[in-house]
């Protein structure tokens, strides 16, 4: 490609192979997509070194995408198990995977992931800095932080979470206003601690232009992290969150000036009635940049079920403008997720994303629902299983209590409404319901 980034290519009227692929997948004209990428309203995260990538577009008018978090931690350093999670994410259609490894052979794991996975790969470089440089947090230098970004970029990472909006101005607001849950972002808390320990400005903010030069060189999309996202509904839409979002809006423009693509990260925990306004606020303050949200989790009282609280919030968020959902598993706030947790989180996020796409009229979103409804009307179970998000689970449920007649399921049996209507409208003159009547006890009246 003769241009450094997807954004630069689009601004100059050049159709990259990645843009052509996204246009074909989304059913959108290349010219229309090119305008969206050029303006920053759509990002195509595609590191020039990620050769296994199947590119996806994130942003205005496109399908809502989902991300799966995984990675090696000190309490569970099982590399093969994390790769199983990668395969599971690919199987169930996750478009992106964030490697949040912070322990052990992080580079080795990340390299294997990039070499083999077609998903967009994201990282949070600040997690890796402590282990890689084997230093105490206060001894890491600003240049160290930039160097770890370069290492990730050179390895082929497509997008990176960088908490550059946590600067002295937004920190001042946070300290003045106070919060119930303080800072719940892992990367944000590390940078806040570094700033307090060293007395220095956030290195990603202070050296933002140098950071952008690294990202531009490899066409890495910057995902501007929300260090001050609310960690409880008590903290949602507070002064700290808005102060950081304002800073992120300015950083978005500075990235676009360099031709670097941008995602903006958002909350967090948030009550239902605040979600729509927050989506509109982000789009306004951040100039229409694609919005990447964690949840939002709409209540704080459901540990063990936070894939549900997040899916509720995610559906509302995406229906009101969010473009990219980060999955949440049932293990959120409790432990590193296992394979079952990962699957539950992916499915919940996919349901939320698809429901939102229907609501906002994304091209072709209703087609899958039309097809499965046709299969249901015909009671074509094999087609129903094929079209389901999780056909294996649907089949297992159906076959766990097999019906006497496969033109029904064990819920309704011979009283199946669909089967009854098919027969009556097909001209059948006798609907046989015998076998459904319960035996009467002596003296009981017939109803």
Torsion of CA 304, 306, 307, 312, to 10 degrees: 140
Known binding residue 185? Answer is: yes
Q: Is 163 annotated as a binding residue?
A: yes
Handedness of CA 8, 12, 15, 21 (dihedral sign): positive
186 belongs to an annotated ligand binding site: yes
Backbone Cα Rg of the chain: 25
Q: What are the helix (H) ranges across 238-271?
A: 239-257
Distance CA 253, CA 198 (A): 29
Q: Are 69 and 292 in contact (CB under 8 A)?
A: no
Q: Would you say 87 is a known binding-site residue?
A: no
326 is in an annotated binding site: no
Residues 6+ positions from 81 with CB-CB distance below 8 Å: 338, 339
Most distant CA pair in the chain, distance:
89
Distance CA 234, CA 226 (A): 17
| Dist CA 198 CA 290 (whole Å) | 33
Number of H helices, E strands in the chain: 19, 10
Task: Find out whether 428 is annotated in a ligand binding site.
Answer: no
What span, in angstroms and rounded, lies between the C-alpha atoms of 19 and 443?
75
152 among the known binding-site residues?
A: no
Please tell me whether 286 is known to bind a ligand.
no
Q: Concatenated DSSP letters for 72-127?
A: -BTTB--HHHHHHHHHHHHHTT-SEEEE---SSSHHHHHHHHHHH--SEEEE-HHH
**127 has binding-site annotation:** yes
Q: Are the beta carbons of 292 and 324 closer than 8 angstroms? A: yes
Annotated binding-site residues for Zn(2+) read 269, 333
Bind-site residues for [4Fe-4S] cluster: 409, 412, 416
State the binding site for substrate: 69, 98, 127, 163, 185-187, 226-229, 265, 292
């Amino acid at each position: 490609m003769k241009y450094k980034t997807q954004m630069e290519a689009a601004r100059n009227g050049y159709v990259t192979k990645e843009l052509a692929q996204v246009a074909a997948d989304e059913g959108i004209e290349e010219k229309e997509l090119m305008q969206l990428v050029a303006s920053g309203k759509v990002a195509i995260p595609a590191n020039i070194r990620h050769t296994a990538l199947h590119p996806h577009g994130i942003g205005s008018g496109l399908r809502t995408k989902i991300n799966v978090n995984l990675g090696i931690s000190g309490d569970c350093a099982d590399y093969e198990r994390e790769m199983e999670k990668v395969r599971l994410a690919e199987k169930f259609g996750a478009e992106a995977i964030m490697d949040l490894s912070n322990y052990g052979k992080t580079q080795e794991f990340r390299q294997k992931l990039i070499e083999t996975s077609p998903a967009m790969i994201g990282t949070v470089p600040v997690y890796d800095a402590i282990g890689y440089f084997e230093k105490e947090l206060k001894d890491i230098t600003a240049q160290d932080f930039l160097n770890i970004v370069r290492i990730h970029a050179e390895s082929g990472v497509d997008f990176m979470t960088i908490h550059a909006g946590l600067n002295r101005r937004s920190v001042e607001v946070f300290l003045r206003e106070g919060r119930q849950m303080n800072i719940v972002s892992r990367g944000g808390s590390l940078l806040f601690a570094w700033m307090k320990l060293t007395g220095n400005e956030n290195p990603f903010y202070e050296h933002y232009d140098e950071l952008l030069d690294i990202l531009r060189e490899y066409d890495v999309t910057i995902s501007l992290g929300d260090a001050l996202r609310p960690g409880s509904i008590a903290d949602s839409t507070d002064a700290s969150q808005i102060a950081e979002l304002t800073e992120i809006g300015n950083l978005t423009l500075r990235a676009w000036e360099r031709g670097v693509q941008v995602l903006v990260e958002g909350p967090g925990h948030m009550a239902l009635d605040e979600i729509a306004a927050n989506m509109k606020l982000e789009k306004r303050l951040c100039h229409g940049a694609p919005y990447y949200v964690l949840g939002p989790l709409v209540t704080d009282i459901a540990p063990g079920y936070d894939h549900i609280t997040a899916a509720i919030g995610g559906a509302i968020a995406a229906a009101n403008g969010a473009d990219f959902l980060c999955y949440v598993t049932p293990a959120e706030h409790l432990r590193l997720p296992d394979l079952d947790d990962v699957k539950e989180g992916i499915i919940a996020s996919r349901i939320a994303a698809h429901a939102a796409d229907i609501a906002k009229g994304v091209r072709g979103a209703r087609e899958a629902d039309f097809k499965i409804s046709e299969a249901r009307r015909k009671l074509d179970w094999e087609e129903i299983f094929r079209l389901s998000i999780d056909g294996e689970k649907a089949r297992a449920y159906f076959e766990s209590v097999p019906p006497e007649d496969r033109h029904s399921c064990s819920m309704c049996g011979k009283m199946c409404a669909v089967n009854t209507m098919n027969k009556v409208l097909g001209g059948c003159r006798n609907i046989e319901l015998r076998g459904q009547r319960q035996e009467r006890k002596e003296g009981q009246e017939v109803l």
